[in-house]
Amino acid sequence: MGLGLRRLLAAPTWTDLRSRLISAIVLGLLVLALTMLGGWPFRLLCVATGVIVFEEWSRMTRAKQAGPIFRFARRTLYLSLIAFIFGFDLAAIAIMAGGAAFISYVDRGERKADWVLGGLFYAAVASLPPGMLRGDDAAGLAALGLIIAVVWPTDIFAYFTGRSIGGPKLMPRVSPKKTISGALGGLVAGVVFGVLFAEWVAGSAGLFIVVLAALLSIFGQAGDLYESWIKRRFGVKDSGRLIPGHGGLMDRIDGLIIATAVAWLVGLLVAGFDHPARGIFPL
């Protein structure tokens, strides 16, 4: 059988491509609608994200082998997310921190639960900061919009810049295809699109937005590299099979997870715990 024929037979069929496209559009519209609504509907989305991310992490890292410690961590996550969905944000953070501290104490010296703790922290970062940053006001929606306006162009332009220019690899042992030129191209694109978004929403974009957009772009790329390192560490191709043709949820939002956490921390430093988004967009 010729090479061309083998490639043709191995290529995705139109039915496969159509199912992938439909699933991506449906999920995208659902996420967009819940993000626009904000409040408890968006928090429900964040809770689902945290649960799925924890399960995908646990499958990839085989954290379930920790037995009772893993089950305790999962219950800690669920309890924290219940507090979060009802608006008890400080309690949600306290439950998560208390559970992590207990696991560290029980596991001291044995290091059997390192990946369990990592999964608990990662799931917390994937679920709590987005909901706390979004809130139910215009500033929260604008803050999430800025993150997306930076991270998505960063990812897209990093890919095409790296393919076009090439050059030295960024971290070949972690992600063999990523290049320094791609990372820089993504950074420039993220800053440009972030500034354009801020100009559109707030009418101006000062030095603060430029620096913040650069941080979000850098940390978004770091989040992508971090998940690549985990998958390479455990010999896993995809984090899961949640999205037909697109892998797991972590594969799609790894950069957004870290970038959103950074934006939330910046908002906390500027505007405090109650309205962190107003530290980014004082609308």
- pLDDT tens, residue by residue, 141-183: 999 999 999 999 999 999 899 888 988 898 888 888 889 999 9
Q: Rounded to an integer, what distance in angstroms lies between the CA atom of residue 32 and that of residue 11?
A: 31
Q: Rounded to an integer, what distance in angstroms lies between the CA atom of residue 247 and that of residue 135?
A: 29
Which residues neighbour 161 within 8 Å (Cβ) at sequence distance 6 or greater? 181, 182, 184, 185, 186, 189
pTM for this model (two decimals): 0.87
Q: Which of 189, 147, 146 is nearest to 164 (CA)?
A: 189
Residue 23: pLDDT band with limits 50, 70, 90: low
On average, the pLDDT of the chain sits at: 87
CB 132 within 8 Å of CB 280: no
